[in-house]
Chains A and B, each alone.
Chain A
Amino acid sequence: MKTRRFDERGLTDRKNWPNYLGGILTETGFILGLTALAFLMAVVAKAVF
């Protein structure tokens, strides 16, 4: 999906917020991915020992 060009003149302009929200969701997804990987490690470690 093509993202809209950021308008830096008005940081809190309403039209920027969908873009900001997408950024927050991307960051959260990345962090939850690392969390899921750690859970997988714990499952494997418990299976091994």
Chain B
Amino acid sequence: MLLRPRLDDHLVIGKYTGKVIIGIALLMVIPLLTSVVFAEWDTVLDFAISIALCLIFGFGTQIACRTERDLSWSHGLVVASGSWIVATILGAMPHWLSGHEGSYLDAMFDVMSGYTTTGLYLLQDLDHISYGMNMWRHLLTYAGGQGIVVIALTFLFKGTAGAYKVYVGEGKDERLLPNVVQTARAIWLVSLTWLVIGTVAMSITGLLLGQEPVRAFLHGLWVYMGAWSTGGFAPQSYNTLYYHALSYEIVAIVVMIAGSFNFALHWAVWTGKRKEILRNVETVSFAITLSLTVLIATFALAKAGVYPDAMTLFRKAFYQLASGHTTTGFSTIYSRAFVTQWGPVGLIATTVAMAIGASACSTAGGIKGMRIGIIFKAFMQDIRRVISPERAVVSSKFHHIKDVYLDDGLVRTTMTITIAYLAMYGLNAIVGAFYGYDFLQAAFEGVSAASNTGLSCGVTSPTMPDVMKVLYIGSMWLGRLEFMSVFALGGYIVTILRGHK
């Protein structure tokens, strides 16, 4: 029997959702200050209005939802998924006020794409938006990669018992350190250290390519944010093709692959367990599937004679595949080139790479290398069981920080999430085909949205049907939060409507 939530349940959920929205308001101060520096007064006003709305909501809920009760597990899941929706609705305000969006739905699409580190966008005339707006776009994706809740955890939550439940709800369920707030801080340490290194490397590269110092710094910072968060936003409409430079591409590849690593792996390697990178199930799985998809695309492109020499072939094939597999979404080819030059084999190889994705507890999306590794191990275990004597005990293990033995519960959970991803990929492809898009292109774009990648073959545009925009918004959200917390929010709504007192 479903029990209807009590007033106290609503209060605790409202209170913590409000805290996350206050965090969003604080985040908006950075683009506001950027616009002040560059005297973009229209953008300053846009952000001032948006901050005011977030603060009214955030502090309004703190006043209206006074309670001493701490979060339960189900509350944590509901807050994690619900706060992303509220943050998207309120976070879309600066986009909409900028006048660069066709509708509020388009603005919400771009903001959800940012938070979920997807990188698809409907914003128009990207090359002429303000510095403040560009800062906001990249901050969205950087904050989303860190986890909005991780930000709130670090600065706004007191105590750790309830906070951990929201943290898990956001899909980051590994404790790097015994204390969850310290874990959040360790995640920040890794990200900020890479921020300094990545921004300096990209800024220097930009300077050497002839950019003005301020422009080189801002582009370096923004492209770093897009790469590290595996978000794929870039300040120019040509994305990273704009730079036309091998040096820029190599730095971007290093940052986006590093950004796709599990934070627990970073922490293990950073704290002395160097060999972990060669033993971990996620990095091994990633290296194998990336190499296989690159191999297929490289040979298909070479056979078709698309690129004149080995260096160009390497730069184009590896960059797009690394970007797709890490679910970043950076590209150095035009969107339509996936269709007109890469052909079906290249399109399928990239789709498979995006569908698999990178590591759990990272900024990346997709099914995740850990799940691919577990399914492969379970498959091999079953084969060994079939060919072994009837009484033989067949066990299997994988390595992730420590050796973990496979059990039926783990395999079942892994399969459930994997099937949910595959179903969502399939649904997006079918709906795209229903609206008249070529099935392969609809599958490519649908997988790109649901795996939070952001590579596009031209389907995503302001003129696409609103139903597909809503579907992609939902897919990005579900894919980023890995279903469970969204299902919990759905269950919460059902109990409000149909539960018994």
Contacts and interface: CB of A to CB of B under 8 A. Distances in A.
Contact of A31 (B257, B272, B301): B257
Interface of A: 3-6, 8, 11-12, 19-20, 22-24, 26-28, 30-32, 34-35, 37-39, 41-43, 45-46, 48-49
Nearest to B304: A49
14 contacts: A6-B272, A11-B185, A23-B266, A23-B274, A27-B261, A27-B277, A34-B257, A34-B290, A34-B322, A37-B291, A38-B321, A42-B317, A45-B310, A46-B309
A19 B177 CA distance: 17
Contacts of B185: 11
A20 B321 CA distance: 29
Given A30-B283, A48-B299, A35 B309 contact: no
B391 interface: no
A2 B253 CA distance: 30
Contact of A42 (B189, B258, B291, B298): B298
Given A12-B189, A31-B254, A41-B295, A3 B272 contact: yes
B483 interface: no
Bin the interface of chain B by size. Answer: 35 or more
Contacts of B405: none
A11 B186 CA distance: 7
Contact of A46 (B269, B295, B313): B313
B311 interface: yes
A22 B276 CA distance: 13
Contacts of A12: 189
A41 to B, nearest CB: 5
| Best-surrounded residue of A8, A20, A38, A43 (most CB of chain B within 10 A) | A38
Interface in B301-321: 301-303, 305, 309-311, 313-314, 317-318, 321
B312 to A, nearest CB: 9
| Best-surrounded residue of A8, A28, A41, A42 (most CB of chain B within 10 A) | A42
Interface string B245-288: 00000100110011001000010011110100110000100010
A24 B274 CA distance: 10
Interface string B172-186: 000001000010011
Contacts of A49: 299, 302-303, 305
Nearest to B300: A45
B277 A42 contact: no
Nearest to A37: B291
B340 interface: no
Given A31-B254, A32-B254, A24 B270 contact: yes
